[in-house]
């Protein structure tokens, strides 16, 4: 006997002895039985089916839920005597053994389904010893399990091309049906794949896999498993593969985000999503981002929430989840980005609540600098690069003016503002107050669209924080800030809903102006990397982000031109059947006329009179200020600037001036001096040109004298872009 033959005989004998020795040591089958998870919307409409909860696309089904046509096809294709032999098919083994002797090679082929399952469960090495180990495991499987159990385990684990495993996953992926619904042609095609999953993957090798399908159908006929007419019909059937990604109908980002939160025994997950609304939002997101392509815009995201319940009605994380080239799997709802000015309303509410400012406070929008570390100066400026001078709180917030917001933050305190943001769920603002500095109100941190929209929902609810619901029938929303007064929130809401207040920056008829009451705020981060629009009616809150996932800047795109068009479309769609009611008036407040330049009760000399909300305390002071001819009892004061203010003298080709305003406004008998030099009066104010240094301003009215001191400084050179103390730049407001 020659050496190769002797070696083969030795191996076969050893193999048989090993099988006999281990016959009574059964090997258990794994118990993982993950089922495909179907997501549905709030009304039971299908959103999509996810095959597995790990990186492989697999889904377990019991053998009774597998079409008999597939059982017959897979047995005919892989092991036609499966039900009649043990772990080894002796007839096939002898044939393979004879072929090996003729070719002087290791025996190949003749693997039974039990041997294939053993290899799937515990991969072994190649060569003779690998085949011995595989056969031993097959014997142990057959010793402890019925043929039916082995066939069930095999059908759920067999490779079906790519990262797809099992007949249920393959049926859903390639044909959009469950394994129990496969017809003869579909079953035979799927049974063809395991022979060579790489070279028989249907989408890449359609003609090849259909040829093997035909071979399997012929085998089924020859084995009496299929009638000839049925085989001919199957061969002639025009099979159509389901498009890649078609298993997800809507809200793919949400489905994958929720995947790990669904218990393993659940096969249908009911979400709060409204599928028609979701599909509208996804379509409009693609349209808006596509229209901005010439401005280097590629990505965006949107979130829609029902204010009453906290239910998330639409969740769009990118324009196209299935576009790998566009990084579509990135979730813009959860991504961390700089919010620009979108946090300002929370600062103004906090300042109003603490009475740091009042609705009739006059804030200065003029060049200013703040000393920070390393001898640097922080000099916030506005998106438009100009200043409006003294402005009311309403004008400062509605037009998103940066300098007034920084002044309010300076008075309120960075640590206090940061604590309030933490209360409203901005958990990613986790640095110390010193890290953010006064730039915190201009976007000096990173937040997600999810966090930002949730906070605006709380604003719409008068300061009541909510937990957003993603699963239907979730627990009631949490109300965490109910003890705080809602009046200040209502005042801020009224300001954000005022078309005329924002006219200076946006115009009265901008895309932010809807035909029904809606409060809205935009934001743009430095270098146009992120644009935001978040706003609400009584019923819904809509948050939108537009930018680029890779962080590249957009070209000339701000919040009102980038994110606002999508916000506008969604809001109009939400309210196309019924117009929302107006917002609640702030409790304990009353609208009264005030002078636009002083913030006080109008005097005969006041040129512009507007209305503003004042609370009980403010009203007492207001009513105490009688008209001039009856004798004023209001205190004499320098309204602007404030004691300790710092101004930056910026060279721009013209003289830089500020207006010194007194209150109550009187006649020319008033006198103002700066460093003992008289200042000319222009209207109700005294206009003074800025000069470097410290300056004492003195105002006199009869025997009353008021003094303040201000500082005028030269701007420092910013070191690098950013918002923190160590990274200063011009901040953009809108």
Backbone φ, ψ for residue 364 (5° rounding): -95, 125
Lowest mean pLDDT among 267-276, 612-621, 624-633: 624-633
Task: Please return the burial class of 629, using the count of CB atoms within 10 Å of its CB with bins 0-12, 13-18 and 19+.
Answer: exposed
Instruction: Tell me the pLDDT band of 725, cut-offs 50, 70 and 90.
Output: very low
Distance CA 362, CA 661 (A): 10
The pLDDT of residue 481: 46
Distance CA 338, CA 428 (A): 11
Using the predicted structure, report yes or no on whether residue 401 has a pLDDT greater than 90: yes
- Nearest alpha carbon to residue 614 among 411, 412, 355, 348: 355
The pLDDT of residue 668: 59
Distance CA 141, CA 123 (A): 15
Tens-digit pLDDT profile for residues 355-379: 999 999 999 888 887 776 665 777 8
Instruction: Tell me the pLDDT band of 153, cut-offs 50, 70 and 90.
Output: very high
Distance CA 285, CA 562 (A): 11
> Per-residue b/e over 284-296, b at no fewer than 16 CB within 10 Å?
bbeebbeebeeee
Helix (H, G, I), strand (E, B) or coil at 481: coil
**Greatest mean pLDDT among 14-23, 79-88, 411-420, 709-718:** 411-420
The pLDDT of residue 451: 97
The residue with greater pLDDT, 653 or 79, is 79
Q: What's the average model confidence in pLDDT over 529-556?
A: 94
Query: Which residues make Cβ contacts (< 8 Å) with residue 518, sequence separation at least 6?
Result: 497, 535, 536, 537, 571, 580
CA distances in angstroms from 569 to 4, 287, 295, 321, listed in the order given:
78, 11, 20, 21
- Nearest alpha carbon to residue 570 among 347, 300, 321: 300
CA distances in angstroms from 31 to 140, 149, 153, listed in the order given:
17, 12, 10
Distance CA 209, CA 201 (A): 7
Helix (H, G, I), strand (E, B) or coil at 594: strand
DSSP 36: P
The pLDDT of residue 373: 66
The pLDDT of residue 669: 65
**Greatest mean pLDDT among 126-140, 364-378, 509-523:** 509-523
pTM: 0.74
Task: Report percent pLDDT > 90 for the chain.
Answer: 55
Place of tokens 């206009």: 687
Radius of gyration of the chain (CA): 37
Indicate left, alpha or beta for 644 from its phi (over 0: left) and psi (-120 to 50: alpha). Answer: left
Distance CA 41, CA 47 (A): 6
Task: Tell me the CB-side half-sphere exposure of residue 280, using CA atoms within 13 A.
Answer: 18
- Nearest alpha carbon to residue 135 among 262, 27, 287: 27
Tens-digit pLDDT profile for residues 20-58: 555 557 778 876 666 778 899 999 999 988 876 665 567
The pLDDT of residue 218: 95
Distance CA 454, CA 471 (A): 16
Instruction: Tell me the pLDDT band of 126, cut-offs 50, 70 and 90.
Output: low
Residue pair 312/303 in contact by the 8 Å Cβ criterion: yes
Helix (H, G, I), strand (E, B) or coil at 43: coil
Using the predicted structure, report yes or no on whether residue 630 has a pLDDT greater than 60: no
By residue count, the chain amounts to 734
Indicate left, alpha or beta for 165 from its phi (over 0: left) and psi (-120 to 50: alpha). Answer: beta
The pLDDT of residue 727: 30
Place of tokens 């460093």: 675
Q: What's the average model confidence in pLDDT over 485-494?
A: 93
CA distances in angstroms from 520 to 281, 349, 514, listed in the order given:
18, 15, 10
In sign, the C-alpha dihedral spanning 229, 231, 236, 242 is positive
Using the predicted structure, report yes or no on whether residue 101 has a pLDDT greater than 70: no
Which helix (DSSP H) or strand (DSSP E) does residue 7 occupy?
helix 3-22
Q: What's the average model confidence in pLDDT over 78-84?
A: 88
- List 671's β-bridge partners, or say none: 700
> What does the mean pLDDT of the chain come to?
85
Helix (H, G, I), strand (E, B) or coil at 611: strand
- List 242's β-bridge partners, or say none: none
The pLDDT of residue 181: 96
Other beta carbons within 10 Å of 183: 17
Q: What's the average model confidence in pLDDT over 652-679?
A: 78
Task: Report percent pLDDT > 70 for the chain.
Answer: 83
Instruction: Tell me the pLDDT band of 626, cut-offs 50, 70 and 90.
Output: low
Using the predicted structure, report yes or no on whether residue 10 has a pLDDT greater than 70: no
Q: Verify cis geometry, omega within 30 degrees of 0, for the bond prior to 370.
A: no
Instruction: Tell me the pLDDT band of 206, cut-offs 50, 70 and 90.
Output: very high
The pLDDT of residue 207: 94
Tens-digit pLDDT profile for residues 306-344: 999 999 999 999 999 988 888 899 999 999 999 999 999
**Greatest mean pLDDT among 29-33, 239-243, 414-418:** 414-418
Instruction: Tell me the pLDDT band of 619, cut-offs 50, 70 and 90.
Output: confident
In sign, the C-alpha dihedral spanning 41, 44, 50, 52 is positive
Place of tokens 């009892």: 633
DSSP 638: E
Indicate left, alpha or beta for 631 from its phi (over 0: left) and psi (-120 to 50: alpha). Answer: left
Distance CA 218, CA 216 (A): 5
The pLDDT of residue 690: 87
Instruction: Tell me the pLDDT band of 632, cut-offs 50, 70 and 90.
Output: very low
Backbone φ, ψ for residue 345 (5° rounding): -55, -30
Lowest mean pLDDT among 115-124, 276-285, 536-545: 115-124
The pLDDT of residue 585: 92
Indicate left, alpha or beta for 528 from its phi (over 0: left) and psi (-120 to 50: alpha). Answer: left
The pLDDT of residue 494: 97
Residue pair 545/332 in contact by the 8 Å Cβ criterion: yes
Q: Going from the N-terminus, what domains does the chain have, and what CATH number goes with each?
A: 3-28+63-158+187-236 (1.10.3810.10), 272-336+446-488+504-585 (3.40.710.10), 589-634 (no CATH), 638-713 (2.60.40.10)
DSSP 159-227: B-STTEESHHHHHHHHHSS-GGG--HHHHHHHHHGGGSTTTT-TTT-HHHHHHHHHHHHHHHHHTTSS-
Q: What's the average model confidence in pLDDT over 396-412?
A: 95
Residue pair 648/368 in contact by the 8 Å Cβ criterion: yes
Tens-digit pLDDT profile for residues 561-575: 889 999 999 999 999
Instruction: Tell me the pLDDT band of 651, cut-offs 50, 70 and 90.
Output: low
**Greatest mean pLDDT among 112-126, 454-468, 607-621:** 454-468
């Amino acid at each position: 006997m020659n050496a190769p033959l002797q070696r083969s005989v030795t191996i076969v004998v050893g193999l048989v002895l090993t099988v006999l020795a281990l016959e009574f040591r059964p090997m258990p089958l794994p118990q993982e039985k993950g089922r495909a998870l179907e997501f549905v919307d709030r009304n039971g409409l299908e959103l999509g089916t996810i095959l597995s909860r790990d990186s492989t696309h697999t889904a377990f089904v019991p053998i009774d839920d597998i079409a008999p046509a597939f059982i017959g096809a897979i047995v005919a294709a892989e092991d036609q005597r499966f039900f009649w032999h043990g772990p080894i098919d002796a007839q096939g083994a002898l044939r393979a053994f004879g072929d090996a002797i003729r070719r002087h090679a290791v025996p190949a082929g003749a693997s039974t389904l039990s041997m294939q399952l053993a290899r799937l469960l515990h991969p072994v090495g190649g060569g003779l010893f690998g085949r011995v180990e595989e056969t031993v495991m097959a014997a142990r499987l057959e010793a402890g399990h019925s043929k039916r159990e082995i066939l069930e385990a095999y059908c759920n684990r067999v490779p079906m091309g790519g990262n797809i495993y099992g007949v249920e996953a393959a049926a859903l992926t390639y044909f959009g049906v469950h394994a129990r619904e496969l017809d003869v042609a579909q079953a035979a095609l799927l049974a063809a794949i395991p022979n060579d999953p790489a070279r028989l993957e249907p989408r890449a090798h359609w003609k090849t896999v259909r040829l093997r399908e035909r071979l399997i159908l012929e085998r089924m006929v020859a084995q009496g498993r299929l009638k000839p007419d049925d085989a001919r019909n199957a061969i002639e059937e025009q099979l159509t593969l389901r498009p890649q990604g078609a298993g997800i109908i809507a809200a793919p980002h949400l489905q994958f985000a929720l995947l790990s939160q669904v218990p393993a025994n659940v096969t249908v997950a009911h979400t709060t999503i409204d599928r028609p609304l979701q599909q509208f939002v996804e379509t409009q997101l693609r349209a808006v981002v596509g229209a901005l392509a010439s401005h280097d815009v590629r990505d965006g995201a949107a979130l829609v929430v029902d204010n009453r319940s906290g239910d998330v009605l639409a969740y769009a994380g990118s324009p196209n989840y299935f576009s790998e080239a566009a990084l579509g799997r990135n979730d813009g709802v959860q991504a961390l980005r700089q919010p620009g000015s979108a946090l300002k309303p929370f600062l103004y509410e906090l300042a109003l609540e603490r009475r740091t400012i009042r609705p009739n406070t006059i804030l200065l929008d003029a060049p200013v600098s703040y000393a920070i570390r390393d001898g640097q100066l922080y000099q916030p400026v506005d998106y438009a690069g100009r200043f409006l001078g003294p402005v009311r709180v309403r004008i400062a917030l509605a037009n998103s003016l940066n300098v007034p917001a920084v002044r309010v933050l300076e008075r309120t305190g960075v640590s206090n503002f940061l604590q309030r943001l933490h209360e409203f769920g901005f958990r990613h603002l986790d640095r110390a107050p010193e890290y953010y500095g006064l730039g915190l109100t201009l976007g000096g941190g990173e937040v997600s669209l999810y966090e930002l929209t949730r906070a605006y929902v709380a604003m719409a609810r008068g300061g009541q924080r909510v937990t957003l619901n993603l699963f239907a029938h979730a627990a009631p929303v949490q109300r965490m800030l109910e003890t705080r007064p809602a009046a200040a929130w209502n005042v801020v809401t009224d300001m954000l809903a005022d078309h005329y207040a924002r006219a200076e920056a946006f115009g009265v008829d901008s895309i932010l102006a809807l035909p029904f009451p809606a409060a809205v705020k935009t934001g743009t981060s430095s270098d146009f990397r992120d644009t935001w629009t978040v706003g609400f009616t009584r019923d819904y809150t809509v948050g939108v982000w537009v930018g680029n996932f890779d962080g590249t800047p957009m070209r000339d795109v701000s919040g009102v031109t980038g994110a606002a068009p999508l916000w506008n479309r969604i809001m109009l769609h939400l309210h196309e059947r019924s117009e929302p009611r107006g917002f609640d008036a702030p409790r304990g407040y009353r609208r009264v006329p005030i002078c636009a330049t002083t913030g006080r009760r109008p005097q005969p000399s006041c040129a512009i009179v507007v209305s503003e909300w004042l609370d009980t305390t403010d009203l007492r002071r207001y009513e105490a200020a009688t008209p001039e001819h009856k004798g004023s009892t209001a205190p004499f004061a320098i309204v602007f600037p404030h004691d300790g203010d710092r101004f930056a003298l910026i060279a721009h080709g013209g003289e830089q001036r500020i207006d010194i305003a007194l209150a109550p406004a009187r006649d020319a008998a008033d006198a103002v001096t700066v460093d003992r030099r008289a200042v000319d009066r222009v209207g109700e104010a005294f206009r003074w040109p800025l000069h470097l240094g410290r300056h004492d301003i003195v105002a006199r009215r009869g025997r009353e004298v008021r003094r303040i001191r201000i500082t005028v400084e030269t701007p420092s050179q910013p070191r690098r872009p950013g918002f923190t103390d160590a990274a200063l730049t011009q901040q953009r407001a809108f």
